Amino acid sequence: MAALRLLVDSYFDGSAHHPGRDGPYLLTIEGTRIASIDRHASDAPFEQRAAFAMPGLVEAHAHLFLDGGELDFDKRNAYLNAPKDQMLRVARENIARNAAAGVTLVRDAGDRYGVNDAIRAEQLDKPVVVRSPGLGIKRPKRYGGFMARDIATDGDVAPVVAEMAARADDIKIILTGIIDFAAGEVKGAPQFNVEELRAIVAAAHAHGRKTFAHCSGLDGLKAAVAAGVDSIEHGFFMTPDILDVMVEKRIAWVPTVSPVHFQWARPELAGWDANTIGNLRRILDGHAQHIALAHRKGVELVAGSDAGSPGVVHGAALIDEIFHFLDAGLPMGAALETATSRPRRSWNAPSASISVGSQADLVAFDRSPFETPEILREGARRVGVSR
């Protein structure tokens, strides 16, 4: 296979920005790897040209079988009884949306229909790779029926986790309910106590699988960090003390700002009154403050949008999530790291850093987001070779 030479004015390697003053840069790709990177290469021959390149984006929290663009709640509820072929079609469309946005790795966050596993198999040799937990786990008659199976007794933990780990990339835990926006708090107590949660985490780790926990509210967050889950998803009503434990235990946080932000931005769709709109704004402001604090403390922030939720459209929503990080005060490099190298490193996935020897999993833009952030919203071009 002939080498591919890409000439770029600047690039982000997954952790550091390489600006134009040392460019242009010639990235030479041989096979599936980056063979060399040369600076000041203005006279070098090339096959492709771009203003800016970076590793393919990672969407860390999505439900591929759900259409985030569907805003009719009756239709969304009816869809949960749709034929699997219809759900697969929706998932394939969502893969295409992710690809257009520059996403090359998606972690699905669970569905009870097997769509995520089927799409993972379809995407094995395609530009967008899928990680799948299959089903999550929850307690009977508690939140999460569309994405999880029940663990009724403590004795079920070991066999259920063993069965799931045989085909899951990660183990998803439904730890808490959802936020009651009208009340401004999380509904109900956590589904698992600390000891029960520790048993789930230990069983997952025994099979070489990391855990990620749907969790918001102080009681759930305390249980999650005490039990040592590997990643907290959502994490609304975060506290500084919880963040300190997350730093100590290297627990990642996927804040999923987008679904709540959409509820605030379009309150008429759910019929929210002024009090609820105020609650939504307070929740979002508190979330942004703790995201900023998490960054300063060194928490492993990871970008995931909860795509598939109402108004949270696959692909575009991950870009929104990056902008939510920027709005919280993260610099561009730190925000891009949450959606490129950090999730890959956290999951022990193949590195896509732009460095010699790394997998050539690159996307290119017509301008640099360090100079024009909005370019991220205009779509990306895949560079490199197909898997």
Q: What's the pLDDT tens digit per position in 169-211?
A: 999 999 999 999 999 999 899 999 999 999 999 999 999 999 9
State how far the alpha carbon of 73 is from the alpha carbons of 31, 137, 184, 279, in Å: 47, 25, 21, 21
Rounded (5°) CA angle 256-203-240: 40
Show the 3-state SS of 152-194: CCHHHHHHHHHHHHCCCCEEEEECCCCEECCCCEECCCCCCCH
Predicted local confidence at residue 1, as pLDDT: 63
Q: What's the pLDDT tens digit per position in 331-356?
A: 999 999 999 999 999 999 999 999 99
Residue extents of the structural domains in the chain: 4-55+352-384, 57-346
pTM, rounded to two decimals? 0.96
The closest of 317, 338, 315 to 260, measured between CA atoms, is 317
Residue numbers of the chain with a pLDDT score lower than 50: none
Residue 111 tokens read as 């569905």
Q: What's the pLDDT tens digit per position in 27-67?
A: 999 999 999 999 999 999 999 999 999 999 999 999 999 99
Instruction: Assign 361 to helix, strand or coil.
Output: strand
Q: What is the DSSP letter of 359?
A: B
Q: Tokens 């999951």 appear where? A: 347
Same fold, 4-55+352-384 and 57-346: no
Strands 33-38 and 381-384 come out as unpaired
Helix (H) or strand (E) holding 344: helix 341-346
Mention the CATH class of domain 4-55+352-384.
Answer: mainly beta
DSSP string computed for 192-252: S-HHHHHHHHHHHHHTT-EEEEEE-SHHHHHHHHHHT-SEEEE-TT--HHHHHHHHHHT-E
The CATH number of 57-346, from 3.60.15.10, 3.20.20.140, 3.30.230.10, 3.30.70.120, is 3.20.20.140
